[in-house]
Amino acid sequence: MVLTMTDQPTDPPFRPNADELLARNRAHVAEFADHDLSLRPRRHLAIVACMDSRMDIFQMLGLAHGDAHVIRNAGGVVTDDVIRSLVLSQRLLGTREIILVHHTNCGLQTITEDTFKAELAAELGIKPPWALECFTDPFTDTRESIERLRQSPFVQYKAHIRGFVYDVTDGRLHEV
């Protein structure tokens, strides 16, 4: 089933979160222990992942604060901006390995680019210039993302690029 912007599932009523999050931050500050972390990730690792809220990247990979750079966007898509971040990560901050984490049941699997952009254009009078990068199979999409990284002249370290699909139903990572 392909959803459009007008037939998305209904969420509970919206309630702003910022004040509650600031209160939680004050509690966090009282126990803050990461003051001495290096700007460079300990594991020389950069992770590109989907922004999906069901994925806690540090928890699912057993990482600690300071272990890796995590770059997230809708679908974990390798865009020009992701490449920009990876180039900075590699050239200025010493990362040498890239791991991609896509997942099952991704929102980008539920829409089509043309329909979504047409709805935006109808509502706003302008079509967005960016690509959504919708896909049907997360495994194929991960392979394509790996290839984009390998083909980029800007990504310096390409020997250690691997991709995985996270199964949101059981928490397993499947290597692509």
137 conformational bin, left if phi > 0, alpha if psi -120 to 50, beta if neither: beta
What is the dihedral angle through the alpha carbons of 52, 111, 152, 104, rounded to the nearest 10 degrees? Answer: 40
pLDDT given for residue 11 in this prediction? 80
Range list of β-strands (E), the chain: 45-50, 68-73, 97-103, 161-166, 173-175
Output the pTM of the full model. 0.90
pLDDT given for residue 7 in this prediction? 60
CATH number assigned to the domain with residue range 37-175, chosen from the 4 options 1.20.120.140, 3.40.1050.10, 3.40.640.10, 2.60.40.10 = 3.40.1050.10
**Six-digit token string for 28:** 């966090």
DSSP letter at 174?
E
pLDDT given for residue 26 in this prediction? 94
For residue 79, give the nearest of 52, 109, 104, 50 by alpha carbon: 50
Q: Rounded mean pLDDT of 76-104?
A: 98
Q: Rounded mean pLDDT of 50-68?
A: 97
> Given a cut of 90, is residue 129 above it in pLDDT?
yes
Domain limits of the chain? 37-175
